[in-house]
Structure 1
Amino acid sequence: MEQISRLLLILQPSPATVTDVEAILQEFQALTDSEKDVRRLTTAEAVFPLVFSDDASLRADSTFPKRNNTVWSLNCQLSPGVIVVPRTSQDVGKALALCQALGIKFSIRGGGHLQNPGFTSNDGGVVISMKNFNGVTVSEDRSTANIGAGLTWSQVYRDLDAHGLGVTGGRVPEGKYGLSCNGIVEYEAVLADSTIVKANATENKDLFWALRGGGANFGIVTNFTMSTLPSEVWAEVRVFAPSQEDELLDAMMRFHEANEKDPNASLIFNAVPGATLLVLVYAESVDERPAVFDAFENIDAIAKMLPGNKYTIFQIMSALESSIATEPKKYTSPPSTLEGSHSGWLSDTLFLTSHDMRTMSSLPDLEVYRAANKCRYQQEELIKHIPGLKITFVIQPISSNAIKATNSGIGSPLGVSEQHQQWFLLMTEWSNHEDEAAVRDAARKIVDVAETTAKKNGTFLTFKYSNYSSRDQDPHSSYGAENLERLRKVASKVDPKGIFQSLQNGGWLVSQVGSKS
């Protein structure tokens, strides 16, 4: 009874439902362990609507399909028993408390843009959707912005654009500001015991450090406070023919060298069947093309998505949405910003498909780039019959300045060496579930070639960026033994019962490091 009384204090059900909630919880508590195993889901289906009303959806509810469809990748669309959409951090605490009381699996879903099945959903459990945490509030002095955890970066940039501001988020801009986590000055998180805490450089410092790359091991983040920066930067986005790839890869090596002398620059090399997209971003509002990008100046593009000029971060991301898709959208024609002739690669309709990502990192290495790219063409040819197949080959240079900025101050758990490097991403896309194994196998072979070549050349780096990692890649194992042990200690401190390790359905959990295969 004492346990239920404490639970009711957290749940605070309405006077109209408190008796029913208490009776359901008492009945469940009285069951044997084997009986609880059978009744967990039916009990959750009975009690969540009483506590959350219309903010909880069951499979039979009319609101369920729309709430369940908020994923980017079709293979991540599973079949949970309950989807709850909290409105406040206190509501998040209620959902966590109920999941613990029932011993039922739960998943946390932010913007829904992860590619690994089971990380943001589950079968027969509870999904805690952060969709209602969708506000962006700029501080009075404009130095920080409070950002809800249910937003996508494109939504954040859109809201900040009205204020002439941006933040370090998504893939650009990076450069002198460091990685996205470096721009966060405070987290608000709900811990396993339903308490709401702030974590920053002076309060809950260990938790603040751990959240800067440690994943969903410590609590549910509801809001971020980030340092703002001027939104206007210089950018250029051009499209190149496949025949120009060797020339572009040669130029990449010259850019790597120039980037070490100019930390304002960042770049994404994004190759898909039929074309290569080159995204150049300079984190200053300058009038002329910066010299750091001179390596690409004399390579003729077949189309321009953005001519070299000043743009806001939101304008850049809006132009890229059709080609670097991070959510299901439909296009029947190229974006209006596209200039010049093109091969038609942007005019294909985009729709909800399955995805996988796979990653590796190395020092700048032209042989790695060429070997992986050659293997990409070989694997594409072998599986070209697969409906909806698309293999995206991405090289993202990371300057030593960016890593140094990330490691400054309180530091980062990522364990990234302070060297100029590249984070390689291979993203695959396909239509039918039965083709998943073949596509993932092809992706594995391409990345394996990149790793093997880098190891032979002495340029291989062990770090794996978790947001780019496939489900078997175990990125936390690349953070280093000391950082991993510290992450485990923080997780034990804030979650002594191990709720996030035992009941959370998936994610990069510190209790599972070393178990991937």
Structure 2
Amino acid sequence: MSVPSTLASILEIVDIAADKREEAEACLSEFVALGEEAKKAARPATIKKVFPLAFGEIAAIETSANFEDLKQSPWSTNCYLSPATIVTPFTAQQVSKILLLIRFLGAKFSVRGGGHLHNPGFTSNDGGVVISMTKFTQCTLSEDKKTAHIGPGLTWLDVYKALDPMGIAVTGGRVPSVGVPGLLLGGGLSFQNSKHGFSCMGIANYEIVLADGKIVNANPKENTDLFWALKGGCANFGIVTKVEMTTVPNKVWAEARLYSPTQNGELLDALMLYHEACEKDPNATLIWQSVNQATLLVFFYCAPVENPDVFKCFYDIPFMINVLPPALTTVYGVVQGLANVLSADILLHEMRTMSSLPDLDMYKAVEACRIEQIEVLKNVEGIILTMVIQPIASNAINASNANGGNPMGLIAQNHQWFLVMADWKNAKDEELVRKSVRKILDTAEEVSKKNGTYLPFVYSNYASRDQDPLVSYGTENLQKLKDIAKKYDADSVFQNLQNGGWLVSKSGMPDMSSLKI
């Protein structure tokens, strides 16, 4: 498929229905005749008129019955922007045609999978096109059950539910409502990190639509550089329309406990012991999540072993309730159980992240700062301040490297990814909330740098809008990502027309700092 440069070529490629073609041609002819400034002003109206003519009912505009539901589907309410159209294709060929029409019009666009992002403009825009992948809902198995073919319109809960009856799982996400593509393009944390590597390392093949409309595969034999780049390189290379993931065993053990905040000191002491223990046991994963009134710990073991010794440092610490009673279960059983306790309230969200070596001083300092900031924000309606400590064993990096590696540039060492997340109700409080989140992260960085435990890595799926995760991959890997992006998108369509995201063209730019509050 060639890139359309003339009105005749775009009409031929998009293949508009005969009864709509004359009207579409007239609209596009009028647009093409305009000067650049006039095009800028006319573009939203042109999009609203042409996309329904070209794509029918899969192109929703503000007068469409489903437009508001589509507009308000992102997880965070600060991402409810006002695009001219939201298109919901269900084939890669439709995505190709949509992308080529976007390119012809010079329209800004956003791609949305599950929409589980907190940064405004990453999955929507004002006046442009949103390509929503919600209709890509396939989840099928290869004949030998060794790979699962997964659509980018699914959440991870959807995926595990579909695979559970077959007795298998994949190295997907752990939060039920997170979508497939965003997690994987950012690298991804799974329950099986130490055993199989990060989530993206479970991918055997990507089907992706490139900027020139071509539909290609990226895997260890085809487009191998693109395959490497997609495993953490974010939305720089095309639109993923299918992933094939290697299946993994589904017989596991898990438990989730809710502790009183008064236990956090003892829990943090135990966490330091766990950091050591998990280095020797690649089956173990721990999730730590402290909120205003409690701390949730999820113990997960990638084998059917009851009460594994790796978690014994926590077993004798008193807790309030079992959110998930200890049991032999499946990945779907764990994620469904977590879905029952995680908040589904419609709120604004902010995240901010850093990483370090295990550091008890830092953990206690940020916990004290979090409690202080809860008090600062006590008059903010709906406020919840969450602290997540995610231990990352060196096994996770070794397993990733053994499976072809990725762009993230991580050294195989025992460390942790730290996250502060804020949830609240009203947009008027955003500046105050973001300052508190920044204060907690600043404390983490200050103490870890003083102690020599600070690490520069920034996990993109946890990063705030003014952070720069791709630069944390290292100079060599960032340059390699830029080269690969240019190779597969020679005209920089994804860099210039894509409305937001962690783009290689913006990484390392001084204007990142201008976004800070």
- Using structure 1 for the length normalisation, give the TM-score: 0.93
Aligned ranges for residues 363-512 of structure 1 at < 5 Å? Answer: 363-512=357-506
Aligned position for 1:290: 308
**Structure 1 residues 46-73: Cα deviation after superposition (integer angstroms, max 9, x where no partner):** 1100111111111122111111111111
- The CA deviation at 1:301 is 1.3
Alpha-carbon distance in 1 for matches of 2:136, 2:337: 26
Does residue 1:239 correspond to 2:235, yes or no?
Answer: no
Quick one: distance in 2 between partners of 1:393 and 1:237?
Answer: 17
Local SS of the residue matching 2:166: coil
- 2:288 alignment counterpart: 269
Offset, 1:170? 1.2
- Check conservation: 2:390, 2:418, Cα contact below 8 A: yes
CA drift at 1:20: 2.5
User: SS state of the match for residue 124, structure 2?
Assistant: coil
Correspondence for 1:45: 48
Q: Secondary structure at the match of 2:229?
A: helix
SS at match of 2:280: coil
Specify the alignment match of 2:122 in structure 1. Answer: 119
1:158 counterpart = 2:161: yes
Structure 1 stretches lacking a partner, 5+ long:
330-350
1:203 paired residue among 219, 222, 235: 222
The residue matched to 2:158 in structure 1 has which SS? helix
Larger mean Cα displacement after TM superposition, 152-161 or 467-476? 152-161
Deviations 1:161-197 (A, max 9, x none): 1211111111441221111001011101101111101
**SS in structure 2 of the partner of residue 418 of structure 1:** coil
The 2-side partners of 1:322 and 1:507 are apart by: 30
In the alignment, structure 1 residue 78 sits paired with structure 2 residue 81 = yes
How far does residue 305 in structure 1 lie from its aligned partner after superposition? 1.3
Q: What displacement does 1:6 show?
A: 2.5
Report the Cα distance in structure 1 between the residues aligned to 2:212 and 2:13, rounded to whole angstroms.
Answer: 10
Q: State percent identity of aligned pairs.
A: 52
Aligned residue identity for 1:218: F
Residue 215 of structure 1 pairs with residue 237 of structure 2: no
Q: Is the 8 A contact 1:10 1:93 kept in 2?
A: no
SS of aligned partner of 1:510: coil
CA–CA distance in 2 between the matches of 1:111 and 1:222? 13
1:300 maps to 2:300 = no
1:248 aligns with 2:267: yes
Cα distance, 1:202 vs. partner?
0.8
Kept in 2: contact 1:148–1:222 (CA 8 A): yes
Aligned-residue offset at 1:442: 0.2
* Deviation per residue, 1:431-485 (Å, 9 max, x gap): 0000001001100010110111111111111001000000011100100000000
Per-residue Cα deviation, 1:298-345 (whole angstroms, up to 9, x for no partner)? 1121100112211111111111124444xxx3xxxxxxxxxxxxxxxx
Q: What is the CA distance between 1:222 and its match in structure 2?
A: 0.9
For the Cα contact (< 8 Å) 2:31–2:46, is it kept in 1? Answer: yes
SS state of the match for residue 18, structure 2? coil
- Tell me the SS of whatever aligns to 1:238: strand
Letter in 2 for 1:151: L
Q: 1:322 to 1:272 in 2, by over 3 A?
A: farther
Q: Per-residue CA shift, 1:64-87, capped at 9, x if unaligned?
A: 111111111111111111111111
Q: Is the 8 A contact 1:175 1:283 kept in 2?
A: no
Query: Given the superposition, is the C-alpha separation of residues 82 and 467 from structure 1 closer, same or farther in structure 2, using an over 3 Å criterion?
Result: same
Q: Is 1:180 equivalent to 2:199 in the alignment?
A: yes
What does residue 33 of structure 1 align with? 36
User: 2:67 & 2:140 partners in 1: Cα distance?
Assistant: 30
Residue 194 of structure 2 contacts residue 394 of structure 2 at CA under 8 Å; is this kept in 1? no
CA distance in 2, matches of 1:197, 1:21: 29
Helix, strand or coil: the match of 1:6?
Answer: helix
Q: Report what 1:95 is aligned to.
A: 98
Q: Spell out the pairing of 1:60-75 with structure 2 (5 A cutoff).
A: 60-75=63-78
Secondary structure of 1:80 counterpart: coil
Quote the Cα distance in structure 2 between the aligned partners of 1:448 and 1:465: 16
Counting matched residue pairs gives 492
Distance 1:45 1:461, change over 3 A: same
Structure 2: how far apart are the matches of 1:439 and 1:35?
40
User: Match for residue 141 of structure 1?
Assistant: 144
Q: Which runs of 4+ in 1 moved over 3 A?
A: 322-325
Q: Give 1:2 shift.
A: 6.2
1:345-385 residue CA offsets vs partner (Å, 9 max, x unmatched): xxxxxx20000111010011111110111100011111111
**Distance (Å, rounded) in 2 between the aligned partners of 1:272 and 1:434:** 22
Structure 2: runs of 5+ lacking an equivalent: 175-189
TM-superposed deviation, 1:390: 0.3
- Secondary structure, aligned partner of 2:157: helix
CA distance in 2, matches of 1:216, 1:289: 40
Distance 1:258 1:376 in 2: 27
Distance apart, 1:503 and its partner CA: 0.6
- Relative to structure 1, the CA distance from residue 24 to residue 311 in structure 2 (aligned partners, 3 Å threshold; closer, same or farther) is same
